[in-house]
Structures are given as C-alpha cells and as structure tokens.
Chains A and B, each alone.
Chain A
C-alpha cells in the first residue's frame, strides 16, 4: 500500500449489492476477508439496499430514482466504496448522473458527481487504490476467467483481474476463447429474450468447457449465475466462483 493512498482511503465501505447480499453472500464475505487481510478495516452501512440498475436498464427510471437518493445518503460519508460487482458499480458511475438530471434535483446531481468517482469495482480498488496485484492468495486449481461486459466496456477495468489472478499461488490460469463476448445474461434480458440469452450462454459454456478448467471465475455473480445455471443443467462439473472468493482463498481457508 502506498502512503498517499492510505491517507486517501480512511473510511472504506463495502457495497455488497442486493443480489450478492441475498443470493450469493460468499462474494461479499470474501471481499471482507480479503480487505481485512490487507489491513483495511471495512465498514458495512446497514442502510444499503440496491443500486437500482435493474430498474434503470428495464426502463423504469422513476423507480430507480429513490434508490439513487438512498445510495448517495448511505455512502456519502465514505472515502471509498468497494463492490464485488462490475455491473452495479457501472450503474452508479455511468447512470446515476442522468437519473439525477431526470429527477430535476441539482443537489442530487452534485452529490452524485462527488460520490460516483469514489465507487470502485473490487479489482480497481485493489490495483489502483491499494496498489496491490499480489494479494497473497492460494488457489491450486485450473481456472479460466470471463471478463464481464460491464467491467470490461463500461468500467474499462482492463486486465486488472487477470493481473490479480496471475499472482495467485498454485493457480493454473487458462485463456477463455472469445472471452470478451457477452454471456447473454444482461439483467432482465435473460428473461425477456430468454431464447437468445440461452443461445449466447450456451456458446460461452462451450468455450468454458473447451478450456478444461475446473473453475470459472468472473467479477459479477449475476453473469456467473446465468453461465453456472447452464453449466449446472449440463452437469458439466465446472464450479463457478467470484473473483473475490479466489483472491480471498488461502491454504488455511481455501475457497
């Protein structure tokens, strides 16, 4: 950790995201374990709920606005907000401004402008803010990584997740063919256009199986639930794990 960043991030909050909180608690738990191991004392404001992305992306902007307000209120006091989800961070950083404009609330717009740059996806926080690529993890498995669309093209996290994974001891990291192609989840797209979504996911699954990896890793549990749901239905014998779980994994406490 560099001295300057240590000063900049005195108070770090975890945004668990509603989906992880309710359906995949292992990812935020791993995020907490990992950050605590790196010497960060992370806080979890209990007032947090949902970023509103599902509403925004389905066209329900008015329904998203109260969630923007509550997010800004909940996380306003923190220096950095970390979330184990590229897509929820994308919703805050890239979509809140236009929702605040729609609300016609200059105060909210100002709050959003001030808060949004302090919201980080996990790999961004580790690499950019903490200056770490080796987080001391141990994970002795053949693993492949799927870069989710919102991390890749909305947040532009680049190869930060791969840098972090490459530094994990014991790991065999194999390239995923056509990695940058969407898995077909897309929020309500997975329900509204279920056939196309499954067709896209099936191709992703085919590529995952080509790698002969034991474990598929990604930074978003929503995409993983979709790909994992297809892998599971095929009884493919591939585990899906969130990036945070792999990075939190140690010899004493393996994922």
Chain B
C-alpha cells in the first residue's frame, strides 16, 4: 500500500467525503464535549481507567490464565490464536463443523483486524454484518473508515443508493421507492437483517471487555442488532484481543462511564450485553472464545508503546483529529485509522512497510487526541517514539537525503560559530532579494512548502546581529 501522504491526497480530493466527515466529526465532537463537561470527576475517571488497564497489562499473563479458567468453568471453550491466520483457521473450522454457509456478525474490530470475513468467504461462508454502518460498508463493497461509525464518510443519499442497488443481490431487497429519510433507511435495514437473524445458526462477535474472575464477555452497542446475534443463534464464536481482559466486574464500572461519553457522546450505553459461558435452554448452547495475540505481546514488550494497549476503541481521538477529519479513514491503510491507528497499526504490524513507516508522521502533534482519550494514552509522545524507531531502524544503512540533512544541521547547531556562519549566508541572500519580503515558488525540497504558501524572505539582519549592534558582544 502507498504511503499515508499519497493516500491522504485521494481523501482530500473527495469533497463529498470531506463534507460528510467534517459534519459528522464536529457533531459527535461537540456532543462528547457536552456530556464530558457534565461529569465533575472526569479527570479522576480517566486516571482510574488508565490505572486499571495498566494493572492488567502489567500482569496480563496471570489474568489471561484466570480468564481461561473461568470461561471454561462456565461452559465456554477457549482457543488461543497467535496471529490472524491461526485465528481465522480456528473460526473457519468451528463454522464448517456446524455445516452452515453463513453466519451473522456483531460489529467487531478484532475480526476486521484479522480479515475474518475474507477468510470465510474463501471457503464459501458468507459473514453478514449486522451493525447498520458495517452493513452499509459491506453492501457498498467499501472499507470502513472509522472505528465506531465505519460508514461515516457516506451521507444519506449515498446510503439509499447502496441499499437500492445491493440489498436484493444478497437477501431481502430494499423496498420500492426507498427515500433517504433516516427512518426509511433504518426500516429497510431492519427488514433486510431480520431474515438473516432468524435463519442464522452461528454468530461471530468480539468483546469490549472480558472479566477474568467470572469469565464474562461484555459487548456494548447502540442498535440492539448485536444482542440479536448474541442471543438467537445456537453457536457463538467471540474473537477477543488479549488486552480486553479486566480483573473484576467492579472494574467495568469506570469504563461504563468513560466509554459511552467518549465514543457516542451518550451518558449511558443503549445496549450492554454480558454473558457468561452457556446456560441450558437460554441463548447460545455452544460458546467459543478465541483469544487473539496478533502482535499484542510485542507491543506489550515496548515499555513506552505498551500504553497503546489501554485503548478501548472509543474513537474520541479520531473525532477530534484535524488530520483524520481531512484525510479520511482509508488513508491510514488499516482498520484502525486516526491517531490511535497511527500508533497502534505500526506497533502491531511493525514498521517494515513504507505505509507503516509513514503512519507515525501522519500527525501535526497538536495533542488534541490526548486531551480526549479516556484512558490517557499519550498519543503525541508515542508518535514521536515511533518516529524515532523508524529513523533508528534506518541508521547504518545507506543514508537518506533527510538523514544527511538532519545530521548536517545538528552539527551546525551544535556550535554557535558554525550556526552564525550559516546565518550570514542567509542574510547575504536576503540582500540580493531587494525589497521583497516573501518568496514565490521555490525548488525542491522547499517546493512542498511554497506550492501553496508564500515563504518569508530571510531578514537582512538576524536577531543576534541586532543584539551585538545594540547591546554589545558580551552576552549583555
């Protein structure tokens, strides 16, 4: 995949998407701000949220063993998956054993991360997304561009067109004369999905939290479609990132306050489903939990980077990020876009590809993401940490033009006499410019500045020269 800057260029050129994104992020951003301001001890909650996660991460092995034991005791079957291939194989085998060729899905980032739908499709199994926004993305043969609102880049009329053109091919078609009114669109989706809910024998989900001491899986959603998947089918397969474990039910309390306000700007979450293993005659009779690593243990090994695993996928950082708002989610080339994607993706995948090397640079380091993050992930600091990692990985080889420039500049700045010499070249050049105060289009690499911005002409006298002239050459 190409680097972030060129993928972002496509996003910037898509004016419809930019309008949709701007509208959506600003709406949800102000909703969040309002409900967060209502909570007097918000900062304290953030600190508590971060502390619970840190405590879990510090003893992850113990909590996972405990989780496995309590899941097993409650009737669930636990599987461990090192990477995407392993996880996909486990799920595929489980589904094939049930002799079905379709299943329903609760919106889940973990299954997107491992590209489960595609892996199932390869063996002829159709995985139907039941979250409204995921459905729009799936029907539109599109990729999600937001963690919480995967179809955030689409507006109502685009959604109507997708429903009209695509629903019929895979199930109940959209009603004739479908309008782009939200209630009509929701009704069309409901009818389309109902057929699938009633038929499905297998459901696949993720989990927002997994409680170690009881073996309880927790899913938060807004529409209730997830709950249909969790209760109707006979078999439930949950793919859960190993960092989702929390010690006790009590620990959920803080996240139940942090997550809805941060993500959808709601005071309370509309549908919170919790289930513990199997119960005879009620809900799925077979529950499988796939505990997924897929790079998480290597993130854990990085003392600075580890905090990225605190993330509860609320997407607050996306909604305030000025880069995300303009570039759009697809530019990040991963299911995790925005600020968290810019740090998490290169951590999970490593920084060997040009795209993953460019992601830590996909930020102006403005810091808005940290301020909204409910678990206080120091995203700007981590971006710089990863940039350093990218540069360090290239040390020793053939030096890049940038590397040479940086080393030369550092050498020049390390001694003020060398620096003053360079300054003199700059003021000399200014004297050749006559009365001009700005420069027009400049040659590469300065052209990436001057393409759209006037560049200031250097002054005829530096500050230091003025100081020496007016205050003398002693430091005072």
Kindly report which residue of chain B lies nearest to residue A67, judged by CB atoms. B413
**Are A21's CB and B463's CB within 8 A?**
yes
B161 within 8 A of partner (CB): no
B365 within 8 Å of A (CB atoms): yes
Residues of A within 8 A of B466 (CB): 25, 29
Assess the A25–B461 pair: CB atoms within 8 A: yes
Give the interface size bracket for A toward B.
35 or more
Give bound CA distance, A67 to B413, whole Å. 7
- A21–B448 contact, CB under 8 A? no
Q: Does B19 have its Cβ within 8 Å of any Cβ on chain A?
A: no
Cβ B452 vs Cβ A230 within 8 A: yes
Complex Cα gap A99–B29 (Å): 34
Chain B, range 457-476, C-beta contacts under 8 Å to A = 458-459, 461-464, 466-468, 471, 473, 475-476
Check if B453 sits within 8 Å of A189, measured CB to CB: no
A233 to B12, CA, bound (A): 20
Chain B 408-439, CB-CB to A under 8 Å as 1, else 0, gives: 01100111100100010010000000000010
- CB contact between A29 and one of B364, B451, B463, B468 (< 8 Å): that residue: B463
- The answer to whether residues A225 and B456 also contact, given A25-B461, A46-B464, A153-B370 and a CB cut-off of 8 A, is yes
- A242 CA to B374 CA in the complex, in Å? 35
Is B407's CB under 8 angstroms from A59's CB?
no
Contacts of B458 in A (CB 8 A): 22-23
**Given known contacts A63-B407, A186-B365, is B9 in contact with A41 (CB within 8 Å)?**
no
Cα–Cα, bound, A21→B448 (Å): 23
Are B463 and A43 touching (Cβ within 8 A)?
Answer: no
Name the B residues within 8 Å of A191 (CB-CB). Answer: 445, 448-449
B384 close to chain A: CB less than 8 A: yes
Within 8 A of B (CB), among A161-200: 180-182, 184-200
B337 CB, min distance to chain A CBs, angstroms: 13
If A194-B452, A195-B12, A200-B326 touch, whether A57 touches B416 (CB-CB below 8 Å) is no
B365 touches A47 (CB 8 A): no
- From B360, B392, B410, B463, A64 is in contact (CB under 8 Å) with B410
Contact indicator B390/A21 (Cβ below 8 Å):
no
Contact of A153 with B371 in the complex, beta carbons under 8 Å: yes
Chain A interface (Cβ < 8 Å from any Cβ of B): 16, 18, 20-25, 28-29, 32, 41-50, 52, 54-64, 66-67, 70, 95, 149-150, 152-154, 180-182, 184-201, 225-226, 228-230, 232-233
A25-B459, A191-B448, A194-B448 known; A200 vs B453 contact (CB < 8 Å): no
4 tightest A-B CB contacts, nearest first: A186-B364, A229-B453, A59-B387, A182-B366
Decide yes or no whether B5 CB sits under 8 A from chain A: yes
Q: Kindly list 15 other residue pairs between chains A and B, CB separation below 8 angstroms, not including A20-B463, A200-B322.
A: A32-B467, A43-B476, A60-B410, A66-B413, A67-B410, A149-B367, A153-B367, A181-B366, A188-B361, A192-B448, A195-B9, A196-B12, A229-B438, A230-B452, A230-B454
Residue of B nearest to A227 (CB): B453
The CA of A64 and the CA of B391, in the complex, are separated in Å by 13
Asked if B258 lies at the interface with its beta carbon under 8 angstroms from chain A, I say: no
* Centre residue among A22, A181, A184, A233 by max chain B CB count within 10 A: A22
Which residue of chain A has the shortest Cβ distance to B427 in the bound complex?
A22
The residue on B at minimum CB distance from A26 is: B459
Q: Are the CB atoms of B462 and A181 closer together than 8 Å? A: no
